[in-house]
């Protein structure tokens, strides 16, 4: 599948005349693959964890967000592939639109796949398809090894995964900060600040 085809579900859910979210036209940069973690104050407040794989952002909704503590097993529910440009999206998705609510970029950086226990021959995307992949994050907030493991679903059933910190020198006891108080790694803004600023823009324009 090309990355354009992979975005059919993403595009089908959105009206690009009514949301500032990207349509997805950008080609991959060729640099180290990126990751981004956004906080999304939609019908339920959650974190969106996204990894660049084969030209799109593979995405999971993580209700509690990633933790630096290897004992925390964080539920991660797959969502549709997002375009690479989505890593830049911070703002408000209008009421009535899919995912309506405020988004901030909480963390971002690059990652590298870690060799799986079943040998290095498997590509990262094959590892994900088979339901287990580990990777090293170099972000501003998140550092070190993490693993994503599918524990339920496949073949039509809704999938559930776990996002877990690996036990390495970057592990710690600190969980995830309160999503309402957390600040954007891009702008330093909280969710509340972003929504207030966008409301102000609309009021004056
Ligand atoms: Mn979301």
Q: Residue 34: CA atoms inside 13 Å, Cβ hemisphere, count?
A: 20
Q: What is the pLDDT of residue 141?
A: 95
pLDDT at position 147? 98
Where are the strands (E) in the chain, listed by range? Answer: 34-41, 45-53, 56-62, 74-82, 91-93, 101-113, 132-139, 143-154, 157-165
Name residues whose C-beta falls within 8 Å of residue 120's C-beta, 6 or more positions apart in sequence. Answer: none
Q: What is the pTM of this model?
A: 0.92
Give domain status of residue 156, yes or no.
yes
Q: What is the distance in A from the centroid of ligand 1 to the CA of 42?
A: 7
Q: How much is the pLDDT for 31? A: 80
Q: If you measure from the C-alpha of residue 9 to the centroid of ligand 1, how many angstroms do you get, rounded to a whole number?
A: 14
d(CA 126, CA 139): 24
What confidence category does residue 70 fall into, taking pLDDT thresholds of 50, 70 and 90?
A: very high
- Does the residue 109 lie in any domain? yes
Query: Does the residue 201 lie in any domain?
Result: no
Helix, strand, coil percent content, the chain, rounded in steps of 5: 15, 40, 45
Is residue 101 assigned to a domain?
yes
Ligand 1 mean position, distance from CA 102 (Å): 9
Structural domain includes residue 14: yes
By the CB criterion, residues less than 5 angstroms from ion ligand 1 are: 40, 48
Assess if residue 13 is contained within a domain.
yes
Per the model's pLDDT, the better-predicted residue between 121 and 52 turns out to be 52
What secondary structure letter does DSSP report for 63? T
- The answer as to whether 33 is a domain residue is yes
Alpha-carbon separation of residue 6 from 3, 141, 203 (angstroms):
5, 29, 37
Could you report the per-residue pLDDT of 128-152, keeping only the tens digit for each?
999 999 999 999 999 999 999 999 8
- Residue 202: inside a domain: no
pLDDT score of 45: 97
Percentage of the residues of the chain whose pLDDT score is greater than 90: 80
CA–centroid distance, 115 to ligand 1, in Å, is 29
Higher pLDDT, 70 or 25: 70
> How many structural domains are present in the chain?
1
Contact between 46 and 59 under an 8 Å Cβ cutoff? The reply is no
pLDDT of 78-130, one tens digit each?
999 999 999 999 999 999 999 999 999 999 999 999 987 766 667 999 999 99
| Residue range of the domain that includes 70 | 3-196
pLDDT given at position 115: 86
pLDDT of 129 reads: 93
Cα(117) to ligand 1 centroid in Å equals 31
């Amino acid at each position: 599948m090309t990355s354009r085809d992979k975005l059919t579900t993403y595009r089908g859910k959105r009206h690009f005349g009514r949301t500032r979210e990207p349509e997805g036209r950008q080609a991959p940069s060729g640099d180290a693959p990126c990751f981004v973690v956004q906080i999304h104050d939609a019908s339920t407040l959650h974190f969106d964890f996204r990894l660049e794989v084969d030209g799109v952002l593979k995405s999971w909704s993580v209700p509690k967000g990633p933790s630096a503590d290897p004992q925390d097993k964080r539920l991660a529910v797959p969502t549709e592939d997002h375009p690479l440009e989505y890593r830049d999206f911070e703002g408000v998705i209008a009421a009535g639109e899919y995912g309506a609510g405020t988004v901030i970029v909480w963390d971002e950086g690059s990652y590298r796949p870690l060799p799986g226990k079943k040998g290095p021959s498997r590509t990262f995307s094959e590892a994900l398809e088979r339901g287990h992949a580990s990777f090293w994050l170099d972000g501003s907030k998140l550092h070190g090894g993490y693993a994503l493991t599918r524990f339920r679903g496949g073949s039509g059933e809704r999938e559930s995964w776990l996002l877990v910190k690996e036990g390495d020198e970057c592990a710690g006891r600190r969980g995830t900060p309160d999503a309402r108080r957390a600040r954007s790694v891009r702008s330093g803004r909280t969710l509340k600040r972003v929504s207030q600023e966008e409301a102000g823009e609309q009021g004056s324009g």
